[in-house]
């Protein structure tokens, strides 16, 4: 993996108000698009709610080329933070499997509500 453009880009959860392309999200997180795709693959195969957030195509498969939802962007910012801390994708995969609630839609909504309280 290439070094990050900004070392601290994934220190905090990312909350967006709009769907974002992988290229745009990679820029926001200060990483190469290929790095973001690696993180996206980790999340796609291990986090059911992340996978379910993709729209379905007519044939029933997931449209992985569609823009990422704000929830998916939040998950990828967390995966990025884990990659910075744990350094190896195997460790990140293991963490996700042991702590699926850290990436749930419920955790996302809860964190979003806490952020709204701070801003109010």
For 69-109, the pLDDT digits (tens) are 999 999 999 999 999 999 899 999 999 999 999 999 999 99
Tokens representing residue 29 in the block: 């997180």
Instruction: Say if residues 80 and 9 touch (Cβ distance below 8 Å).
Output: yes
DSSP three-state, residue 68: strand
Contact, 111 vs 103, CB < 8 A? no
Contact 11/81 with Cβ under 8 angstroms?
yes
Contact 108, 47 (CB under 8 A): no
Q: What is the pLDDT of residues 11-22, one digit of tens each?
A: 678 899 999 999
104 in Cβ contact with 53 (< 8 Å):
no
17-56 per-position pLDDT tens digit: 999 999 999 999 999 999 999 999 999 999 999 999 999 9
How long, in residues, is the chain? 120
| Three-class HEC string of 45-61 | HHCHHHHHCCCECCCCC
């Amino acid at each position: 993996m290439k070094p990050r453009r900004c070392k601290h880009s994934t220190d905090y959860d990312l909350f967006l108000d709009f769907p974002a392309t992988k290229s745009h999200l990679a820029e926001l997180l200060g990483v190469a698009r290929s790095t973001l795709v690696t993180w996206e693959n980790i999340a796609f195969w291990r986090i059911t709610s992340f996978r379910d957030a993709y729209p379905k195509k007519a044939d029933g498969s997931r449209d992985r080329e569609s823009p990422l939802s704000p929830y998916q962007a939040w998950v990828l910012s967390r995966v990025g933070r884990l990659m910075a801390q744990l350094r190896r994708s195997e460790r990140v995969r293991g963490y996700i499997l042991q702590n699926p609630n850290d990436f749930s839609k419920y955790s996302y909504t809860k964190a979003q509500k806490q952020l709204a309280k701070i801003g109010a």
